[in-house]
Amino acid sequence: MTTPRRTGSLSTLALALALAASLLLVVSACSGSGGSQVEAEGLILKDAWARASAMSSGAGAAYVTVENTTERVEKLLSASVASSVARAAEIHETTTVSVGPSSTSIPSGAPEMMSMREVSSIQIPAGATLRMEPGGYHIMLLDLAEPLVAGQEFTLNLGFMNAGVVSIPVKVRAS
């Protein structure tokens, strides 16, 4: 009876210590460049910002840069924010869709359609940097609880295949 309990508590302790150590790693944050930077498991997250809302309700977008300094492929799998920020967060990609020849009235230099789609993951090759930016990858915030006001900050949680969930403060800017 005693032995299993002891083993149990020891492994709890070990797990706790490991967690604590990894937390410390996660939070070896704050680069001197002025922007928030968070490091976790060989990932460097930085330049996290969201555009201030134009309206009292609606959708928002957040952008983050993720450097994969490890020697293995990483994947961004999920995103979330507190319900006080938005109902849900999704990984999205803005893409251009070429207008097919069957479409009507194609002008010279036929404008493409801009489209947005949810993606299930974004792969970040070893040593590569994922730079989310307007017109590309972004985290879409659905049904904002309150307008995002310039100067505010909220926490974005990103789930990675290897590094697990990493949180970063996101700064709201006018544009």
Partner 1 sequence: MAPVMRSRLVLSALSVLLLASVSMVTACSGSSSADRGGEGQVVGYAPSPPREVGKRALPDHSTDAAGVPFPLRAAPGGLLVVYFGFLSCPDICPLTMADTAAGIAELPAASADRMEVAFVSVDIERDTGDRLNEYLSYYFPTTTTHSLRAVDTAQLTGVTSEFGVQWQIDPHEPGATTYGVAHTGTTFVVDDRGRVVWEIPYGTAGPEVAATLAHVLEVAYVTS
Check residue 19 for interaction with partner 1 (CB under 8 A). Answer: yes
CA distance 101 to 103: 5
Check residue 40 for interaction with partner 1 (CB under 8 A). Answer: no
Q: Which of 43, 47, 74, 80 binds partner 1 (CB under 8 A)?
A: 47
- Closest approach, Cβ 145 to partner 1, in A, equals 14
Residue pointed to by tokens 């149990």: 8
Asked whether the beta carbons of 48 and 63 are under 8 A apart, the reply is yes
Which residues ranging from 67 to 126 are in contact with partner 1 (CB under 8 A)?
92, 94, 96-97, 99, 103-117
Pairing of strands 164-173, 43-51: parallel
- Closest approach, Cβ 138 to partner 1, in A, equals 5
Q: Which of 41, 42, 44, 58 binds partner 1 (CB under 8 A)?
A: 58
Q: 7 CB contacts (<8 Å, ≥6 apart)?
A: none
The angle at the Cα of 159, spanning 154 to 164, to the nearest 5 degrees, equals 115
Looking at the Cβ atoms of 24 and 71, the one nearer to partner 1 is 24
- Closest approach, Cβ 123 to partner 1, in A, equals 20
Positive or negative, the CA dihedral 161, 13, 25, 138 is positive
- Closest approach, Cβ 76 to partner 1, in A, equals 17
Positive or negative, the CA dihedral 101, 104, 105, 111 is negative
Check residue 59 for interaction with partner 1 (CB under 8 A). Answer: yes
- Closest approach, Cβ 56 to partner 1, in A, equals 7
Check residue 164 for interaction with partner 1 (CB under 8 A). Answer: no
Check residue 56 for interaction with partner 1 (CB under 8 A). Answer: yes
CA distance 142 to 58: 7
